[in-house]
Amino acid sequence: MRTLVLKIEYDGTGFLGWQLQPEGRTVQGVLEAAIQKILQAEIRATAAGRTDAGVHATGQVVHFRTDSDMVVDRLKKGLNGILPPDVRVLEAAQTTGDFHARFSAVGRRYVYRIIRRPSAVRRHFAWHVAFPLDVAAMRRACAPLSGRHDFTSFCQATSTADGAVCDVRVLDWIEVDDELRLLIEANRFLHHMVRTIVGTAVDIGRGRWPEGVMAEMLEAKDRRAAGANAPAHGLCLEAVRYPSEFGI
């Protein structure tokens, strides 16, 4: 059996997320159907992260195992020929048999986009926040989240079964023209973690809470202590990192 890896991008607007659902359109369902059509075999694809409904990806990584000897470039071309326009295979490769898209990953990078004005073009890819934001206060408020911490306060309760400790290596708010972007990279993320951080930071930026409250929320280890989730459509999985031996 060969282990094949795909790097894919997708517009999450028309999906109920990555993971298969009893009803409704999912990225996993669409991708598996295309792979099975090309290879004429039952395939189960595993992703580096299970993005929610409306969340996008420009660097999602997926693996599956197959006994097909099809050349990976031919597989990539064939998939892009039948996939819908909101999913695209960017790269295809073969790797070692013990590779796992989720468990072999050592880092993941997300970006969350906020726009200051209504946009016809970007309305599905960024959260329009109409009120003024104190970006400097948001930066200072989020600073305590960098490093290794228990993020129970910033995730859905059911996502802590495997523990809530994450190592946040990059966390920065940057301004690009009329966009405000949160760049965040960590070894792992919990369900709704980025969206909760963004929603809380926006409340701080508009003056609803003082800057120091973010550190208090982190210490509380209680989801009720933090703010509401930011909308899903502003979030995008940009990249997944792996040890060099996998060649991914």
Span 125-181, pLDDT tens digits: 999 999 999 999 999 999 999 999 999 999 987 656 678 999 999 999 999 999 999
In the prediction, which pLDDT does 156 show? Answer: 85
Helices (H), the chain: 27-39, 72-82, 135-142, 193-205, 213-220
Q: Which residues of 92-108 are buried (b: 16+ CB within 10 A; e: fewer)?
A: bbebeeebebbebbeeb
Confidence (pLDDT) at 161:
64
203 is catalytic: no
* pLDDT on residue 157: 73
> Regarding the domain delimited by 107-239, which CATH topology (the fold level of the hierarchy) does it fall under?
Alpha-Beta Plaits (3.30.70)
Contact 6, 89 (CB under 8 A): yes
User: Looking at residue 59, what is its pLDDT?
Assistant: 97
Averaged over 89-114, what is the pLDDT? 96
| CATH architecture for the domain at 2-103 | 2-Layer Sandwich (3.30)
Largest CA distance in the chain: 59
Backbone angles phi, psi at 139, to 5 degrees: -65, -50
pLDDT tens for each residue of 33-82: 999 999 999 999 999 999 999 999 999 999 999 999 999 999 999 999 99
Supply the pLDDT for residue 158. Answer: 64
Confidence of residue 114 (pLDDT cuts 50, 70, 90): very high
Catalytic residue among 52, 73, 98, 178: 52
Provide the whole-model pTM.
Answer: 0.95
Q: Which of 230, 227, 231 is nearest to 214 (CA)?
A: 227
pLDDT in tens, 176-222: 999 999 999 999 999 999 999 999 999 999 999 999 999 999 999 99
Domains 2-103 and 107-239 share a fold: yes
- Nearest of 142, 120, 240, 242 to residue 196 by alpha carbon: 142
Measured between alpha carbons, how far is 27 from 15 in angstroms, rounded to an integer?
Answer: 6
Q: What's the confidence (pLDDT) of residue 159?
A: 59
Residues 21 and 74 sit within 8 Å (Cβ to Cβ): no
CA distance 240 to 248: 9
How far apart (Å, rounded) are the C-alpha atoms in residues 62 and 196? 26
**CB-CB neighbours of 118 under 10 Å:** 9
Domain coordinates of the chain in residue numbers? 2-103, 107-239
